[in-house]
Amino acid sequence: MTPPEKSQVQLTPARLFANPPLAGTTPSDFKFSPDADFLFFRRAAADDRQRFDLWKVDTTSGEKSLYVDARSLLHTSTDITDLTDAERAERERKRQFSHGITDYFWRSNHHQLIIIIDGQAFLVDTHEVDSQPQHLCPSGSRQSGFQCSPRGSYLSYVRSNNLYICDFVGHETQLTADDDPLLCNGLPDFLAAEEMHRFEGHWWSQDETYLVYCKVDESPVKSSFRMEVDAMGARTIEQRYPHAGEPNPAVELWHVDLATSAHKRIWQSDDQTEYLARVLCSHGEIIIQTQDRRQQRLDIMRYAESAESAESWQLIHQQSSDTWINLTDDLRFIDDGSILYSSEQDGTRKLYTLTFDAKQSTTQALIGPQHINRVLHASNRCAYAMGWDTDASQNHMYKLDFVESRYDQITATVGWHEVIICAAHNLYLDCVSNETQPEKISLHGLSPDKTPHQIFAEKIDRDHPYAPYLPNHVTSIYAQFPAQDGQPLYYRLTPPSQIEGQHATVVYVYGGPGAQKVRRQWSPLLVQLFAQNGFGVLEIDNRGSGNRGSQFEAPLYKAMGSIEVVDQVAGLSILTDHAWADLSRVGIYGHSYGGYMSLMCLAQAPQAFKAGVAVAPVSDWALYDSHYTERYMGLPDENVSAYHNANVLSHLDKLSQPLLLMHGMADDNVLFTHSTMIMSKLQHLGKPFELMTYPGAKHSMQETEISIHRFDMILDFFERHLT
């Protein structure tokens, strides 16, 4: 896409975060109907970027229509204060900042949709014209953790820390009855959801005869108290936050027989298996993945349905690492009863099959691309997976043929692809964009004889909300440079929209493990905000970043805030090849780990950065949660010097550049304490800084008014200190 001539219309935070959304109302969360005649998807309303409605599209004609308007189902206020603590935690962990229809899924073996809105579930028959939604949960209640059973007989959910099921004719059954507020049944604990990305807390057997569920006991976690400040004042919040080196919640896995209502505990966390990472119920068996406290060992365990005691667990595979093991959702049963899993034991992620019986197990490596990041589907003949082979800034779908021992790249367009597969009907949906093309969504056949059918294309015509700003849209430059150890570091450089002489550059950083910023996609509008306000923007995925494999991530081990700074500073040499870039005017901005990186770069490389903005930064890793911190830093008592070196406070005496510090005053992830420690240390050192705190805001600070104010402040700060 070639933008027209430059315009005087300048992108502002007020417009970027207002309605209608500048990015348009791009469909998301696609799901095929059982017969694949329709695709359903969620889409932001044109008048409210945070309210999602449900749409459908005919897979033959491509005709789209609004299927369920969220306003028709809203019975109570969607204001955040109406959410239960469990719902609020669930949304925060999933980074779900919208309202309206927050989830939907098919009732198995039926042409019926279950729609989740406002803590309630509604059933809609898609084969009935003008079908009226059926309310499934008790009126006046709020639930979370919804799941449909495999055969479609039941809906399960959690209310007030207890697990319930209901059939679809209004009969509800309570499965657990704990009234201790520190016990929760059927939901993941904080560490599982926030750090392991395990959002489930209960699982159905394939034949619906039993459920397995987590029972989480928070009592071992020490109580800590934090001040939570909002517009109405301050209050003290007791929070059982599992700090690094401190006790974690006790997690148990229980089995409940639906016919007899008999419950039995089948697994519990202990010193050897601290974390319940994944659970899989299929083929009449229960398979779990567990990790030790240091996350250097991952066990795959098998529990047969007929087992009578915890001693019946069979270890069928074990992985180990000298650094840490990343978790994935790749574990799944194949048609022949074997298991597909992935491992980074050779430096990048590959796929393996695991066969086992009561006595032994065997593994076999599969031929595939250089790195796999997500399995889409697997049978006993092949697997489809996302990943990359030669360019980590792109994402493609690959077919791994088990029989012929070969792999093929299926998606062809240069860019970043996300794919949804409907294997039962030999179809896949491809969502792709690149630096010159906004998102396109098209329907393809898994066999090449089917003609692709375009479902959606983001066309920025004169009626599109982004049209006034398109003339100033900047096409980013993608390339790479070598790190000190020779590994390629990818970067995205976005020049200023209108170049007049030399310009300042903002290094937009995250830098932490598990994340990847440099993706060959249509430019994020936040990057365009900086570019259209006169700044160049440089983004670098330093060593330790995600989607590159353990070999690329390992240099960060027990050395947070060191190797990342080296790579970010080295990347500034890129700017010497661009006449518009003034290397004496480079700023740095980041949020969360990016805020931590802003502070570490300012303190450790004062010659490179003239000013910086740190939003919700970690200051002392001993104050962050156990699973995340110990994965990369080891246990605090065993690595005292490493924790000291990774502590922002240890380096603030070297900070001399202008700093803008921002934090939400109700943050329950990176606690506000992190910033108060920074404030106190800087004041003790006699160092000036600018500060903006946001009452009521949690870690992500996604509220419209807060987003506008925050980026107005950031732009003003950089304009004052870099221009």
pLDDT, tens only, 225-278: 877 887 888 888 888 989 999 999 999 999 999 999 999 999 999 988 999 999
DSSP 547-577: SS-HHHHGGGTT-TTTHHHHHHHHHGGGGGG
Instruction: Indicate if the pLDDT at residue 128 is higher than 50.
Output: yes
pLDDT, tens digit, 9 for 90 and up, residues 325-352: 999 999 999 988 889 999 999 999 999 9
Mean pLDDT to the nearest integer, 501-524: 97
Mean pLDDT to the nearest integer, 587-606: 98
At 4 the pLDDT is 55
pLDDT, tens digit, 9 for 90 and up, residues 465-474: 999 999 999 9
Q: Give dist(CA 179, CA 187) in Å, integer.
A: 15
At 604 the pLDDT is 97
Mean pLDDT to the nearest integer, 210-229: 91
Tokens at 428, concatenated: 């896949």
At 121 the pLDDT is 94
- pLDDT band (50, 70, 90) for residue 2: low
CA distances from 391 to 310, 346, 416 (A): 45, 18, 11
Domain coordinates in residue numbering, the chain: 468-722
- Which residue numbers are catalytic? 592, 667, 699
Is the distance from CB of 180 to CB of 137 less than 8 angstroms?
no
Q: Give dist(CA 444, CA 457) in Å, integer.
A: 15
Region of residue 208 (phi > 0: left; psi between -120 and 50: alpha; otherwise: beta) = left
CA angle 143, 146, 148 (to 5 degrees): 140
Q: Give dist(CA 392, CA 548) in Å, integer.
A: 7
Instruction: Indicate if the pLDDT at residue 85 is higher than 80.
Output: no
Q: Give dist(CA 439, CA 27) in Å, integer.
A: 10
Q: Give dist(CA 572, CA 574) in Å, integer.
A: 5
- pLDDT band (50, 70, 90) for residue 5: low
At 78 the pLDDT is 43
Q: Angle formed by the axes of helices 593-604 and 563-571, to 10°?
A: 70
At 96 the pLDDT is 67
Q: Is the peptide bond before 20 cis (omega within 30 degrees of 0)?
A: yes
Provide the b/e sequence for 47-75 (b: ≥16 CB within 10 Å). ebbbbbbbbbbebeeeebeebbebeebbe
DSSP 88-147: HHHHHHHT---EEEEEEEEPTTSSEEEEEETTEEEEEETTSTTPPPEE-S-TT---EEEE
Q: What is the DSSP letter of 649?
A: G
pLDDT, tens digit, 9 for 90 and up, residues 278-310: 999 987 789 999 999 999 999 999 996 554 554
* Mean pLDDT (the chain, rounded): 92
Q: Give dist(CA 151, CA 109) in Å, integer.
A: 6
Closest among 38, 42, 39, 10 to 26, alpha carbons compared: 42
Q: Which CATH topology does 468-722 take?
A: Rossmann fold (3.40.50)
- pLDDT band (50, 70, 90) for residue 75: low
At 361 the pLDDT is 83
Fill in the amino acid letter for 174.
Q
pLDDT, tens digit, 9 for 90 and up, residues 398-407: 999 999 999 9
Instruction: Indicate if the pLDDT at residue 318 is higher than 60.
Output: yes
Q: What is the DSSP letter of 200?
A: -
Q: Give dist(CA 256, CA 365) in Å, integer.
A: 36
Give the position of tokens 């820390």: 161
- 583: Cα separation from own chain's centroid: 34
Alpha helices in 545-703 (DSSP H): 550-553, 563-571, 593-604, 626-633, 640-645, 673-684
pTM for the full predicted model = 0.92
Instruction: Indicate if the pLDDT at residue 524 is higher than 60.
Output: yes
- 215: Cα separation from own chain's centroid: 24
pLDDT, tens digit, 9 for 90 and up, residues 665-723: 999 889 999 999 999 999 999 999 999 999 999 998 988 999 999 999 999 999 999 98
